[in-house]
Amino acid sequence: MRILIAEDDLASRKFLYKFLSAYGSCDITVDGLEAVEAFLLAWDEEEPYQLICLDIMMPRLDGIKALRMIRDLEKQKNLLPAQRAKVIMTTALNESQTVMESFEIGCEAYAAKPIDTKKMEEVLQKMNFLKG
């Protein structure tokens, strides 16, 4: 399974990479623009990402906007909801505003940093992602 991580902080990036590598092959991007580009690239290669971890606070393009673009692109390709990538938003902020927004645009889960690994595991399990 291919996983896309978008996270601008080095330490968080390393952590997510190590943690999620257990579930699949991870690609690391450092801002929203790269994330969208990687997403498109993966599509072109016909190996789209099934799980995307988006940090909300990122330079150039933030997580919310990236999420919006990814969902729009998926719509353009006429994907059924079940076929869409599962998205987990991560952030150090605690604003309910951003949480609401992301859920409205369409994400599956929301994790506050520092990430609780136990919870993350549970969520991934619920999404039927298994450790390989």
Q: Is 52 exposed, middle or buried (0-12, 13-18, 19+ CB in 10 A)?
A: buried
Non-local (6+) Cβ contacts of 96 within 8 A are none
Q: Which is nearer to another protein, 4 or 109 (CB)?
A: 4
Amino acid letter at 129?
F
Tell whether residue 17 is a contact of another protein (CB under 8 A): yes
Instruction: Please pick, from the candidates 6, 29, 64, 69, the single residue that binds another protein as defined by CB under 8 A.
Output: 29
Question: How many other C-beta atoms can be found within 10 angstroms of the C-beta atom of residue 33?
Answer: 17
Instruction: Please pick, from the candidates 10, 78, 118, 128, the single residue that binds another protein as defined by CB under 8 A.
Output: 10
- Window of 27-35, 72-80, 101-109, 123-131 that interacts with another protein by CB under 8 A: 27-35
Going by C-alpha positions, the residue among 71, 99, 66 that lies closest to residue 86 is 71
Closest distance between another protein and the C-beta of residue 14, in Å?
Answer: 6
Closest distance between another protein and the C-beta of residue 83, in Å?
Answer: 24
Instruction: Please pick, from the candidates 1, 19, 57, 105, the single residue that binds another protein as defined by CB under 8 A.
Output: 57
Residues contacting another protein: total by CB under 8 A:
17
Amino acid letter at 43?
W
